[in-house]
Chains A and B, each alone.
Chain A
Amino acid sequence: MVKPCKSQWHRNTAIFTTLALIFFLNISSALAQLDGKKIYKANCRSCHYLDDKSSTGPGFQGLSGKHPDKEWTFKWVKNNVSFAKTDSKAAEISKLTTNTMTVFEGVLTDDEIKAVIDYLYTNPTEEKKVDVAKGGSGATTSEQEGGINPLYLVLVVITVMLIIISALRSVKRNLQNTYNEKHGLPPLEELNWRQWCSRNKRTVALIVIVTTSYGLQAGWYALKDIGVYTGYKPEQPIKFSHKIHAGENGISCEYCHSGVLKSKVAGVPSANVCMNCHKGIEQGPTTGTDEIAKIYAATGFDAATKTYTKTPQPLKWNKVHVLPDFVYFNHQQHVVVGKQECKTCHGDLTQMDVAEQVSPLTMGWCIDCHRKTEVPGMKDNPYYEDLHKKLAEKYSGQKDSIITVARMGGIECAKCHY
């Protein structure tokens, strides 16, 4: 049996002191931990994970077992280059890789290095990332909404009704014939389709008028759409989503299509541009690792070793915006001098999972815009000074004095067709 404390007061004090001690110890250790964690995140995490996965440098799991001497680790972190010259173990480690670690002397103070080492020797684990993108937006794509065209539904209903009507009619006919046979009456006459037509002229006329006008209308639209690819939205070899990249992550269009300011073509980025981010990001919010693995295959990247050791397999993207070969179009001209935004012609890609052609890209569409649009880059350009002055004089008296592309010769045939 435990001997009770001599007095109530004594016992209370003991409990209180113990609790206070535990409390303060916790707080102080929590503070130290917080500090080290912060430093780790700001300075080390770019290259070292907390688990055993290698990034640019090795993971930190089991660090306290590998290098039990904190003093040694401190020297290594502070200046691994000079340390490797004096210490044999450090020299050995620095030979393992061609990437030398950053020297933290002058970047972090001694206390900060000690704090981060203390933190790392507590064997911390990776925090589970909360995947915002998965739970929030982007769970459904516009593609999957789809549904059935109501017109088809009406057609199906009409067909089913016609079948039922004809079936009922033939049943009625058979019954009538059986009745007639029993009562010695002549059977119903068999009409061929010509006789039927000549007896039902109104119905025939109606059917002919309806089908002809539908055919003409459909044909008219079909003819109008020849060579116009609005709505073209081909499936791509990788389920790349502009909505995630340009929309949710806010990556500028020019980051990937970097030719847009320098060249005739904006360019489909080569897979090395994908790898600028996807070397580190191995998992996407909607497709997991499947689609990103295709980039790795395209570049010959080995995700396990983080090296380019396999044979690259070029990606075959489907070109969405195709201009005819007989027309010249230059992106640089439109974006740099014309100061046009990408979405003026390409639509709001930040909302598209699959890139779609939204503008018709017909000649009429080009010319419409050329008739309405000014060229903002021309005003301040000394090269066009003379021309701009002349044109400004020429059109100053008119009701509409804007110097549009058309007024500068932007609708001359040879401007685009040569």
Chain B
Amino acid sequence: MKKTILFFGSALAITMLVASCATSDPNSPGFEFAPDMYRSPSYESNSSNGLFADSITNRKPAEGTIAIGYMPYPYPNNDSGYAWAGRNLKNPFAATPEIIAEGKKKYDIFCTHCHGATGMGDGKVGGKLPGPPPAYNAALKNLTEGAMYHSIHYGKGNMGSHASQLTAEERWKIIRYVQTLQNPGGMPAPAPADSTKKEEKKG
């Protein structure tokens, strides 16, 4: 009898204990059944890593290496680079409605909050910057596509570099859309798609 009481009593106590462990502390995920099966022993993206002094798992590529399918950007981050890119860089995509639509999609994600939905520089975040971005159809009306690409790659003024968020293709599509904002009346001057240049980019 004593043993039975002891058994049930301790069973109850343990249940209560488990129950109390699962209290809703927002900082604790709760009780984990098999942590060794849940948590990966290998390093996941963004996880911290004791092997490196800065504890970052996502490493940068070794200096001087080039990833497959990626073209390094040759223009330096200074004024001559900006001018040079502005003169030389050409958009590999033609200004077709599809490309412009794709560009708009990306523009809405990556640009609207500062440059505004219509490129007037009236985005919600743009208004909080010390100086809002200039409007595409005014101060930036004559900005060349190469200069835009350079600015997306390195950033300009209060704008930061968007190189880590946008691929080369995405940037060129956005630029096609921005050109329609530079000339809100009509389509931009259609630049013929240069197939050789496109190959070069991919290669």
Q: Are A325 and B40 in contact (CB under 8 A)?
A: yes
Cβ contacts under 8 Å, B132 to chain A = 41, 45-46
Q: Are B32 and A98 in contact (CB under 8 A)?
A: no
Q: Are B165 and A258 in contact (CB under 8 A)?
A: yes
- CB contacts under 8 Å to B, within A222-260, are 222-223, 225-229, 231-235, 248-252, 254-255, 258
- Please tell me which one of the listed residues A100, A226, A316, A322 contacts residue B79 in the complex, with CB atoms under 8 A apart: A100
* B interface residues, tally (CB under 8 Å): 65
Main secondary structure, interface of B, reads loop
Cβ contacts under 8 Å, B33 to chain A = 226-227
Q: Are A249 and B113 in contact (CB under 8 A)?
A: yes
Confirm or deny: B96 has a beta carbon within 8 angstroms of a beta carbon on chain A: no
Q: A55-B158, A267-B46 are in contact. Are A233 and B32 (CB under 8 A)?
A: no
| A150 CB to nearest B CB, Å | 15
Docked Cα-Cα span, A26 to B109, in Å, equals: 46
Residue on B nearest A354 in the bound complex, by CB: B26
One of B14-22, B87-95, B190-198 at the interface: B14-22
Q: A100-B79, A221-B19 are in contact. Are A268 and B157 (CB under 8 A)?
A: no
Q: Are B160 and A279 in contact (CB under 8 A)?
A: yes
* A interface residues, tally (CB under 8 Å): 66
| B17 CB to nearest A CB, Å | 9
Main secondary structure, interface of A, reads loop
Q: Are A265 and B45 in contact (CB under 8 A)?
A: yes
Q: Are A277 and B46 in contact (CB under 8 A)?
A: no
Residue on B nearest A227 in the bound complex, by CB: B33
Confirm or deny: B65 has a beta carbon within 8 angstroms of a beta carbon on chain A: no
Q: Are A276 and B46 in contact (CB under 8 A)?
A: no
| A380 CB to nearest B CB, Å | 14
Q: Are A232 and B26 in contact (CB under 8 A)?
A: yes
Q: Are A225 and B12 in contact (CB under 8 A)?
A: no
Q: Are A219 and B19 in contact (CB under 8 A)?
A: yes
Q: A211-B12, A219-B19, A231-B26 are in contact. Are A47 and B78 (CB under 8 A)?
A: no
Residues of A at under 8 Å CB distance from B? 41-49, 55-56, 98-100, 106-107, 211-212, 215-216, 218-219, 221-223, 225-229, 231-235, 248-252, 254-255, 258, 265, 267-268, 270, 272-273, 275-277, 279-281, 312, 314, 316-317, 319, 322, 324-326, 354, 356
Known: A42-B139, A229-B30. 4 other contacts (CB 8 A): A46-B132, A100-B79, A276-B155, A277-B129
26 pairs from A and B in contact (CB 8 Å cutoff): A41-B132, A46-B131, A46-B133, A47-B131, A100-B79, A107-B142, A216-B15, A221-B22, A222-B31, A223-B18, A225-B22, A225-B31, A227-B33, A231-B26, A232-B26, A232-B28, A232-B29, A232-B30, A234-B26, A276-B161, A277-B114, A277-B125, A314-B55, A317-B46, A326-B37, A356-B26
Residues of B at under 8 Å CB distance from A? 12, 15-16, 18-22, 24, 26-34, 37-41, 44-48, 54-56, 58, 78-79, 108-110, 112-114, 121, 124-125, 128-135, 138-139, 141-142, 155, 157-162, 164-166
